[in-house]
Amino acid sequence: MSTATNIVVVGVGGQGSVLAGQIIARAAMLAGFSVATSEVHGMAQRGGSVFSTVRYGKAVLSPAVPEGAADILLAFEKLEALRYLNYLRGDGLALVNDQRIMPSIESLKLAPYPDDKTIEETLHRRARDVLIVLALGIAQKLGNPALTNTVMLGALSRFLDLPHTKWRQAITELVPPKTVEFNLLAFDEGLTWAQRHAQM
Amino acid sequence: MSAQTVLMSGNEAIARGAWEAGVRVGCGYPGTPSTEILEALARYPEVDCEWSTNEKVALEVAVGAALAGGRAIATMKHVGLNVAADPFFSVAYMGVNAGLVVVSADDPGMHSSQNEQDNRFFARAARVALLEPSTPQECKDFTFAAFEISERYDTPVLLRTTTRISHGKGLVTLGERQEIPRKPYRKDVHKNVVLPAHGRIRHQLIETQRLPALEKEAERWAQIFEGSDDLAIITAGAAFLYACEAFPNATILKLGMTHPLPRELIKRFCEGKKRIVVIEELEPYLTEQVRALGISTEEIHLPRFGELSVGRVRQAVERARDGATPPPVELPPLPPRPPILCAGCMHRGVFYVLKQLDAIVSGDIGCYTLGALAPLDAMDTCMNMGASLSMAHGMAKIFSEEEKKRLVAVIGDSTFYHSGVPALIDILYNGGQTVTIILDNHTTAMTGHQEHPGTGRTIKGEPAPVIELESLARGLGIKHVQRIDPYDLLAAWRTIDEALHRREPSVIIADAPCVLKEKRRFGELVSVDHTKCTECFACTELGCPAIEVRDGHIEINKLLCIACTHCQQVCATCNAGIDIPQVLELVHQKRYADAFKVLLRANPFPAVAGRVCPHPCDHEVNALGWPQEKLYAERYPDLVREFSTPGHPAKLSVRDVERFLGDYGIEHFSGAEFAPAEERPERIAIIGAGPAGLSAAFYLRRRGFRVTVFEAFEKPGGMMRYGIPAFRLNKEILDREIDRLYMMGIEIKCNVTIGRDVSFAELQREYDAVVIAVGDSAPQELELEGTSDVQEGLLYGVDFLRRVNRGQSVKVGRRVAVIGGGNTAIDCARSAKRLGADVTVYYRRTAQEMPAIRDEIDEAILEGVQFEFQTNPIRVLARERRVCGLELIRMKPGPLDKDGRRRPVPVPNSEFSVPIDTVILAIGERADLDFLKETGVRFAQKIHTTFTGAASQPGIFACGDVAFGYGTVTQSIATGRRVASAVTTYLRQKGAKR
């Protein structure tokens, strides 16, 4: 079962990480892989920390990704990237959207939001590769911050063995019909960005 | 045609399995993680689905359908089966006609539940078949088969999932729907009327026939995965998945039917095995039964609580970390991110009002349970669906009259239909007086916006009659049924307050749609006017995620704000963060004692503040754009008449109301009334008895901590005593207000200087927390030519005021120059004037830029103080070491500095001299922080703190000017209150760790 690709998707409730996980799973499925995912509903919509997993491979039964077993940590928010960092393998890749979403004032009374330097240093202590993706910035340039996730998926696709056409098909099937064109554009922008910035 | 394979969640697969099995009826009540089963099932047109009012009703409807001859399924979360337990146990005896499946979705880890009960025991207790799928494919297959099992063995089947199974997705191969002809309905009273005589026979049959037969059936649902190592695992459900991942080479017995257990098969499996472990989540349900068979399974350390993970399973069995897993890296302390009420949520308005009213709130289950969290902190209890009303009714039987006047039950609309109605009937029937607030957001929000009897739609989206809450309550006979708009805080306050004072039961319906569902925006987005914001943080008491603190300043997050206006109504541009709207309302109602108590929640020195505060509360529009002046005038013409602003008869002077209440408080309260009800063991040291330090002391003592304040001077009060001149503040008022603190049990040690008489390290040792509030008591020195050898005629502002305030003799010459533009400068000028001098204030910027309180400048002008703006001293002129004049230069605005202000620059060749006898330098104050050297506490001119006042060392806090530098008494008071909260949080966390 170690032949599976393990992806942990994290973010803040309302950022759309559930849909992103679905798109990854759909693309993997279209590419002929066996797929398992897990996500948490309910409270997650209320701005809380959100964690989901996507696994695909030849024969995947369980959606569970143990700590230290994720190949890729796909984080839509920086603080959440740190929170789930230890799910990543020692030689894993942290793909982090360059966005800070402040937790509530009450939470910040318990601990401050770590500064960028601390975040990057900590990420590097675990991950072999860290890529901070300017996804929010790219999405804003495209005119809609809601496209951030799709930009991140584009960047993610640079590191996965799933054909570009399958990604496009998965996006087309799963995003609201009116937004397909923009999402495909955002996906390609993310991919291009990652191709330009990734050393791997 | 080849079978279609799709990606499905466990819940969707259960619905699919039921559909393929020809199910005719589906019923349920929403509850995470079960909700999507019925939502998915309702999309199949062949199935008659309904959201039932509760799980008991749902199961009864399903039982009826099954008896009538159609296959039926009832879905619920684990705690829902508690509600449905009555029919569940009875139908177990009755048996079925057509197949009946009950789905219980358990929630180990409590992702979205109030407990993590293990519902496998329900099957065992009720003597019915239990199936536990592990994958989405199994969810479909097991559900399909469950109907057949149900019919073949005449038993309801409990299909139990857990969150990971329900919400996990995987590939599922689809089948076609099997059309099952309706089974004929047969009247069979011996089965279907559960008289004792019938029951006795049924129970016997179940034990002697059904269960033995099912035990054979259970063997068909077990699978053995042969492995290569000597570890043998018995497992089921989600635990199977973790076991597979953790031990890929083990031999695994995977059970599909876990009640009854296939005992013979388990025995056979265990024969000859060296190491046998049972891996299961929550209770040792399998373990105990396997051991009862005489099989010795290995003792492993799986906790009975929490959700399993691959790591936990591996650790429990191996008792050490697998070498393959890298050790976790240590993370910096991270702020948690729990779920939170959405920006603009209607519930926030209701809970804010309940907090204003200091209500005792019996809460219930739903999104609004989040109202229990800080800062709203407005819920006392939450137990189970519908319990809010009945528990409140029970509390009222014991509570005092005073407590009863604070007691409310709060329940959501869907929860009220679910099980609030019988409780309301109970209250009415049994003479209760409980105030019930129904939070009617027109949907079942928490579980993802399901329809309910009040929405006018069925689960299929078809129109349905609306069971109207107001008519329902009135129909029962509740006389006082009122609607409130939760976005009108004052109106809501009035309605709830009135109901609390009534001696009859009442129902208040807070009526507004869920903002997450409607996605509406109310109006223009709110923004902060930073020229007005006092940084009192009153708006943050709402706990709205759109209100953020960035670099110590309040900002509104435009992506989240929906302009609900809650924060605009809460803002009163008050330096101390007083709840002015509530205070005014209470004064209007002539409830002065109540009003005074509300004042004291934010400001322990209202009589002082009512005299010295620069009263930003009189802005026409507040810092968040709300027309407060107009609203006060409209609401309270009586108060405007009584407390009008001098020169503005139509304008309410809130400060005068505060002074009135402060004086009322001095007259009517000793302070002992505010002593804590319960003592806490922790001791807190506060350095400095100024407004910030004393405010921190007051609010910490209120919470029960043992507080000692160390003051360097001979009396407490700080700038209130030694800075503000007596003509602005009668020191007797100050003494009376400080007396309150003594009466509460606060110890104030005067004439103690930390770093000289007592070391800082000693405080750290002796106390659980230290709050530094030493203020800016040392004068800022000005590098001015000619000052070094002057011996007479040169004074520093704070020293001068302190000596005047102590009644010491201070001599000034006839011509006095005061340098500076702040409050100290103006106080010095006015004090010097009173000593008979001709006084001129020299300030390097323009009159408009002067930071001193406007009123005080005006008073100074009236008293004859002269002002020279845009003028800066360059040299003190002295004769025989005595000041005899001052050389000055004219200034003009220069380039912008980092704060966006224009830095004044000298006008070339504009130097001039004036004859002067005394120069008072009042260009600012600084803190003397030498005692913090080598303590590790980071500071420069100020102590570095978070916005709440936590310094760089744990357990060390700072407030007032030494940390924030606002420079007014009232703002310092606000920082003291804030630091008290931070200290409390810190000590609570520390206590929790212990």
In whole angstroms, what is the distance from residue B445 CA to residue B515 CA? 10
Task: State mean pLDDT over B494-523.
Answer: 93
Q: Report d(CA B434, CA B415) in Å as an integer.
A: 17
CB contact under 8 Å between A40 and B332, yes or no, is no
Q: What is the pLDDT of residue A45?
A: 61
Determine the 3-state secondary structure of B358 from DSSP. Answer: coil
- DSSP-derived 3-state class of residue B731: helix
CA distance A197 to chain B (A): 26
Q: Which CATH number fits domain B678-777+929-993: 3.50.50.60, 3.30.70.270, 3.40.605.10, 3.20.20.70?
A: 3.50.50.60
pLDDT at position B841: 96
How many domains are there within chain A?
1
CATH class given for the domain over B346-516:
alpha beta
Residue among B245, B519, B537, B562 with most chain A CBs within 10 A, to mutate: B245
Please, are residues A139 and A146 in contact by the beta-carbon 8 Å criterion? Answer: yes
Q: What's residue A2's pLDDT?
A: 52
pLDDT digits (tens, 9 = 90+) for B870-880: 999 999 999 99
Cα dihedral sign for B357, B362, B367, B371? Answer: positive
Domain ranges, residue A87: 5-197
Q: Under 8 Å CB-to-CB from B474, ≥6 apart: which residues?
A: B481
Which structure tokens are listed for B602? 């934010």
| pLDDT band at A200; cut points 50, 70, 90 | low
| Least confident stretch, A123-137, B714-728, B847-861 | B847-861
* pLDDT tier at B928, thresholds 50, 70, 90: confident
Alpha carbon B978 to chain centroid, angstroms:
16
How far, CA to CA in Å, does A76 sit from each of A31, A152, B41, B423, B544?
A: 24, 8, 33, 45, 22
Among the partner-chain residues A36, A43, A111, the one whose CB lies closest to the CB of B170 is: A36
Q: How far apart are CA B924 and CA B779, in angstroms?
A: 6
Contact B932, B944 (CB under 8 A): no
Chain B residue with minimal CA distance to A82?
B331
Q: How much is the average pLDDT of B13-30?
A: 98
Q: HSE-up of B709 (CA within 13 Å, CB side)? A: 32
Least confident piece of the model among B319-328, B399-408, B643-652: B319-328
Nearest CA to B619 out of B660, B662, B648, B641 is that of B648
pLDDT at B559: 84
Residue B1, pLDDT score: 43
- The answer, yes or no, to whether residue B257 has pLDDT greater than 70, is yes
Residue position matching structure tokens 């914001």: B533
Mean pLDDT of A75-94: 95
CB-based contact B166:B38 (threshold 8 Å): no
Closest of B318, B380, B378 to residue B354, by C-alpha: B378
The shortest C-alpha distance from B137 to chain A (Å) reads 10
Q: What residues contact residue B766 under an 8 Å CB cut-off, 6+ apart? A: B683, B685
Q: Which residue, chain included where needed, has tokens 């920082």?
A: B975
Which residues contact residue B321 at a Cβ distance below 8 angstroms, ignoring those fewer than 6 apart? B314, B315, B327
Q: What pLDDT, on the 0 to 100 scale, is given for residue B319?
A: 64
Rg of chain B, C-alpha, whole Å: 36
Which pLDDT score, from 0 to 100, does residue B321 have? 46
Q: What is the CATH number of the domain that holds A35?
A: 3.40.920.10
Q: In the predicted model, what is the mean pLDDT of residues B809-836?
A: 93
pLDDT confidence of residue B245: 87
Which residue of B7, B244, B335 is in closest CB contact with A62? B244
Q: In whole angstroms, what is the distance from residue B645 CA to residue B639 CA?
A: 11
Handedness of CA B323, B329, B330, B333 (dihedral sign): negative
Q: Which position has the token pair 């007032």?
A: B960
CA distances from B53 to B41, B383, B425 (A): 18, 19, 17
Q: Do B244 and A60 count as a contact with CB atoms less than 8 A apart?
A: no
Q: Dihedrals φ, ψ of B674, to 5°?
A: -105, 5
Residue B584 has pLDDT above 70, yes or no: yes
DSSP B79-106: HHHHHTHHHHHHHHHH--SS-EEEEEEE
pLDDT beyond 80 at A187: yes
The answer to whether B873 and B844 have CB atoms below 8 angstroms apart is: no
β-pairing, B129-131 with B257-259? antiparallel
Instruction: Tell me: pLDDT of B310 over 90.
Output: no
Contact B310 A85 (CB under 8 A): no
> Residue with structure tokens 């897990």?
A38
CB atoms within 10 A of CB B931: 20
- Closest CB to B164: pick one of A13, A38, A90: A38
Q: Do B167 and A38 touch (CB under 8 A)?
A: yes
The overall average pLDDT reported for chain B is 94
Selecting from B32, B170, B985 the residue whose C-beta is nearest the C-beta of A42 gives: B32
Range B517-535 average pLDDT: 90
Q: Which residues of A touch B374 (CB under 8 A)?
A: 106
Instruction: Please tell me the distance in Å from A96's CA to the nearest CA on chain B.
Output: 16
DSSP per-residue letters across B483-536 = EE-TT-HHHHHHHHHHHHT-SS-EEEEEE---HHHH----SSPP---TTT----
Report which DSSP code applies to B417. I
- In which band, very low, low, confident or very high, does the pLDDT at B323 lie, cut at 50, 70 and 90? low
Residue with tokens 């009173």: B834
The alpha carbon torsion through B697, B702, B704, B707 (nearest 10 deg) reads: 10
Mean pLDDT of B183-208: 96
Among the ranges given (A63-67, A85-89, B240-244, B610-614), the one the predictor scored with the smallest mean pLDDT = A63-67
Residue B325 above 50 pLDDT? Answer: yes
Helix axes B823-834, B854-862, angle to 10 degrees: 20
Of A38, A84, A44, nearest to A62 by C-alpha is A38
pLDDT at B669 over 60: yes
**Architecture of the domain spanning B781-926:** 3-Layer(bba) Sandwich (3.50)
The verdict on a CB contact (< 8 Å) between A1 and B7 is no
Check: CB of residue B247 under 8 Å from CB of residue B310: no
Say if the Cβ atoms of B241 and A61 lie within 8 Å: yes
Mean predicted confidence (pLDDT) in B894-916:
88
- Phi, psi angle pair for B592, to nearest 5°: -70, -40
- Span B516-534, mean pLDDT? 90
Examine the pLDDT at A199 and tell me if it is beyond 70: no
Decide if B678-777+929-993 and B781-926 have a common fold. Answer: yes
Amino acid symbol at A69: A
Q: Which residues of B touch A48 (CB under 8 A)?
A: 337-340
Task: Report the CATH fold assignment for B538-668.
Answer: Fumarate Reductase Iron-sulfur Protein; Chain B, domain 2 (1.10.1060)
* Measured distance CA(A89)–CA(B328) in Å, rounded: 10
Q: Does the domain made of B226-318 have the CATH classification 3.60.20.40?
A: no
Per-residue confidence (pLDDT) for residue A44, from 0 to 100: 58
Q: What is the chain B residue with the closest CA to A62?
A: B241
- What are the CA-CA distances from residue B683 to residues B348, B765, B920, B983 (Å)? 34, 11, 41, 11
Residue B274 burial (CB count, 10 A):
9
Cβ contacts of residue B408 below 8 Å, gap of 6+? B354, B359, B360, B361, B362, B392, B434, B435, B436, B437, B496, B500
Which residues from chain B sit within 8 angstroms of residue A36, using beta carbons? 135, 168-170
Pick from B64-68, B857-861, B897-901: least confident: B897-901
From B816's Cα to the closest Cα of chain A, the distance in A is 48
Lowest mean pLDDT of A46-50, B27-31, B148-152, B425-429, name the range: A46-50
How buried is B947 (Cβ within 10 angstroms: 0-12 exposed, 13-18 middle, 19+ buried)? buried
pLDDT tens track for B500-510: 999 999 999 99
Token pair recorded at residue B235: 């497992």
Q: Using DSSP, state whether A32 is helix, strand or coil.
A: coil
Residue with the bigger pLDDT between B928 and B215: it is: B215
The closest alpha carbon to B508, from B429, B428, B408, B431, belongs to B408
Q: Contact B391/B411 with Cβ under 8 angstroms?
A: no
B327: exposed, middle or buried (Cβ count in 10 Å: 0-12, 13-18, 19+): exposed
Chain A contact set for B338 (CB, 8 A): 48-49, 104, 107
For residue B992, with 0-12 CB atoms within 10 Å meaning exposed, 13-18 middle and 19 or more buried, which class applies? exposed
For the cut 80, the answer to whether the pLDDT of residue A40 exceeds it is no
More confident site: B26 or A110: B26
CA-closest candidate to residue B774, choices B713, B825, B733, B829: B713
Please report, to the nearest 10 degrees, the dihedral formed by the alpha carbons of residues B256, B262, B263, B268 taken in order: -80
pLDDT at A1 over 50: no
Please compute the mean of the pLDDT values over residues B735-744 and round it to a whole number: 97
Measured in degrees and rounded to the nearest 5, phi and psi for residue B878 equal -135, 150
Return d(Cα B372, Cα B663) in angstroms, integer: 35
Tell me the average pLDDT across B758-776: 95
Domain ranges of chain B: 5-217, 226-318, 346-516, 538-668, 678-777+929-993, 781-926
CATH topology (fold) of B5-217: Rossmann fold (3.40.50)
Residue A57: how many CB atoms within 10 A of its CB? 17
Chain A residue closest in CA terms to B314: A66
